[in-house]
Chain A
Amino acid sequence: DSGVTQTPKHLITATGQRVTLRCSPRSGDLSVYWYQQSLDQGLQFLIQYYNGEERAKGNILERFSAQQFPDLHSELNLSSLELGDSALYFCASSVGSMGDRINTEAFFGQGTRLTVV
């Protein structure tokens, strides 16, 4: 158990809908990262937050957004869903921003499997 909690574990929804994925980082971790893993793309970095502020952005679609709340949990919002958005969505957390010289490792949750039908 990595200590990172993601809910829900599975989600089935229709095209055009909007969903929210939730992530609770490990206790004490300030950074949260979101990744998408689909069959043909591998693990793709979406976005990173550090202590409530956006720190890095990957190839995140405009239909997707995220935020990190004062209690440090994070939510990934996916809207106008398309069939191609079906994937595993992982959240990871680390103590620092991973830009720190400490270079702490990131711990991943077990993911949310999103199926868009």
Chain B
Amino acid sequence: DAKTTQPTSMDCAEGRAANLPCNHSTISGNEYVYWYRQIHSQGPQYIIHGLKNNETNEMASLIITEDRKSSTLILPHATLRDTAVYYCIVRVYTGGGNKLTFGTGTQLKVEL
């Protein structure tokens, strides 16, 4: 799997947009970008994923650069409940068994 690089931590004011960057400069053409988050030792929660195009769902938006070497997860109106570790993962299609390889993630702290 392609390696990802994320900032160790970020702060965000409640109600503001949280923009979490991820670098994946070695990503290949068939590799998807996934985002998960983990709230204080709970099970990781799926947020969103994408291949080339920007994606949006009820939780967040995913912006992938044209060269696909980086992406940004956007939480449009962060709340205190969004405080968590956010993991950016690049997932490859191999046609067989697979896994999500978690890095160290970004600790997002949403404050009043």
B32, B43, B49, B91: the one contacting A108 at CB < 8 Å is: B43
Q: How far is the CA of A88 from the CA of B51 in the complex (A)?
A: 31
Interface size class of B (residues with CB under 8 A): 20 to 34
Taken residue by residue from 39 to 50, chain B's Cβ proximity to chain A (1 for < 8 Å, 0 otherwise) reads as 001111110010
Closest to B105 in A: A42
Given contacts A55-B97, A56-B96, A58-B99, contact A105 B43 (CB under 8 A): no
Once the chains bind, are B97 and A2 in contact (CB under 8 Å)? Answer: no
Between A and B, how many residue pairs show CB distances below 8 Å? Answer: 73
Closest to A108 in B: B43
Closest to B31 in A: A103
* A25 located at the interface, meaning its Cβ lies under 8 Å from any Cβ of chain B in the complex: no
* A24 located at the interface, meaning its Cβ lies under 8 Å from any Cβ of chain B in the complex: no
Once the chains bind, are A56 and B41 in contact (CB under 8 Å)? Answer: no
- Among residues 62 to 112 in chain B, which have CB atoms less than 8 Å away from a CB atom of chain A? 87, 91, 93-104
Once the chains bind, are A110 and B42 in contact (CB under 8 Å)? Answer: yes
B16 to chain A minimum Cβ distance, whole angstroms, is: 27
Given contacts A42-B104, A103-B91, A105-B34, contact A110 B43 (CB under 8 A): yes
Given contacts A42-B104, A105-B34, contact A55 B98 (CB under 8 A): yes
* A4 located at the interface, meaning its Cβ lies under 8 Å from any Cβ of chain B in the complex: yes
In the complex, chain A residues whose CB is within 8 Å of the CB of B100: 33, 45, 98, 106
Q: How far is the CA of A2 from the CA of B43 in the complex (A)?
A: 9
Given contacts A108-B44, A108-B45, contact A98 B104 (CB under 8 A): no
Extra pairs beyond A4-B43, A45-B99, A56-B99 (5, CB < 8 Å) = A48-B98, A48-B99, A90-B44, A99-B98, A103-B93
**Hey, which bits of chain A sit against chain B, CB under 8 A?**
2, 4, 33, 35, 37, 42-45, 48, 50, 54-58, 88, 90, 92, 97-101, 103, 105-111
